[in-house]
Chains A and B, each alone.
Chain A
């Protein structure tokens, strides 16, 4: 039993790593294609049919590029920063159930690496650690634009942690558990049982905060496009930069899974249809990340702070208070 469990866990970890590294690659492809279509362009077309092999070309390019560490950079920290981003993104996946449990060759598989009873807290914590990646990278690369990016990163991450936590508090109070599987079972009864109907405010707040936590476009202040350079990634080259990228896209996928599990019923009763719907719902949220990137402009750092502390946080607190009163009476 013990060895079987051990082997199963190892296999699950390897599968998640492989699938999501590949998905991160495909994520860049989807992003380029969808952005292109929305801007009446074609996107990558030349490598492979419809440019699908562009991912492979990019991979080869990233792996074979020279790995430059600038002279004045703080070497060890500069080198470890991208690893933090990528590693924490995948560590967060440990507590996410990607599918309902299924039986294969008479052996029941739970597609979750570790069903800890503090799942959502664990995911938030590990994602919080992931913020060290851009922060350390930009502090260590001794570049003033990277430093500015680090300042913005610290401000955004600390602020939006608050919103994420407070927005989650209300649904957590309703379900009474931190486990994502418990969340799923709470909403297993069908569309009517989804938490989004009872907690629409929390849903919207968490969704907005998800944009800040993944650093996607309306809140893409970590790598500030307005300065034309890539913020924390200015001094990075080759695969170290690629690791930041993999981390960002893996994070987008995982946070889409988490939103669906928390608010939109997850995989429902665990049937095949439920599992398919789960993936579809996840795909919509991933698509939305790309959609907003095509449609919306970035906002200024002060507007971001204003939005966080003057609108979202009071709303989240009100939501918690109202939920508490409703649950009490």
Chain B
């Protein structure tokens, strides 16, 4: 599972910067000749040859063969949405409140709800137009039940400009949920770590 640790150190430029010593241009013929000879004798060309040869012998390949291997994305990356289930019962978390539809600034979420035989409100239809979605994350922020979250699927190839993702595709498969294979979701839309310390008690007379 993805974790935040490897993304936490953002100080990429702490070390490794130094000023390049640029020589002044040679002016006289004698200085030019000296430059040529010093460069020829220092064997800079061979240093270059050695460096690439060393890398070839070390064979420390950094290629990611993309369709076969994928780099991990950050857990808080906002890619295609997912619908979560409850941990133990596997019931759908979505209660059909419609807040995500309301808050969506690009107006790409559509939902229909109905009252089922148990007198509970359930989602009958739920689509997100990914062609319009700007992946702002408001839907995941506003969701009171932590039902809609942003997952890690970033491949959005499609045959048409407006392509949709349906409720059933976003929903965590039921058997996975029953087997307990749905861990606590750490990504965007989830409760951030140390949330308890940041929660302030609301006065009753507010």
Contacts and interface: CB of A to CB of B under 8 A. Distances in A.
Q: Is any CB of A less than 8 Å from a CB of B in the complex?
A: yes
B53 A42 contact: no
A143 to B, nearest CB: 33
Among A36, A38, A45, the one with the most B-chain Cβ atoms within 10 Å of its Cβ is: A38
Contacts of B23: none
Given A37-B59, A40-B60, A294 B52 contact: yes
Given A295-B48, A296-B45, A40 B65 contact: no
A38 B48 contact: no
Binding site secondary structure of chain A: helix
Contacts of A39: 52, 55
B200 interface: no
A12 to B, nearest CB: 36
Given A295-B48, A296-B45, A296-B48, A38 B63 contact: no
Contacts of B53: 38, 291
B65 A42 contact: yes
B51 A295 contact: yes
Contacts of B36: 311
B56 interface: yes
Interface residues of B, number: 15
B52 A41 contact: no
A185 interface: no
| Chain B interface main SS type | helix
A292 interface: yes
A42 B52 contact: no
Nearest to B48: A295
Contacts of A42: 61, 63, 65
Given A34-B56, A291-B53, A41 B48 contact: no
Contact of B55 (A38, A45, A292, A296): A38
Contact of A41 (B45, B49, B51, B61): B61
B49 to A, nearest CB: 5
Interface string B32-48: 00001000000001001
Interface of B: 36, 45, 48-49, 51-53, 55-56, 59-63, 65
Ranked 8 nearest A-B pairs via Cβ: A295-B48, A38-B52, A42-B63, A294-B52, A295-B52, A37-B56, A295-B49, A38-B56
Given A36-B63, A294-B52, 19 more contacts: A37-B56, A38-B52, A38-B53, A38-B56, A39-B52, A40-B60, A40-B62, A41-B62, A42-B63, A42-B65, A291-B49, A291-B52, A292-B49, A295-B45, A295-B49, A295-B52, A296-B45, A296-B48, A311-B36
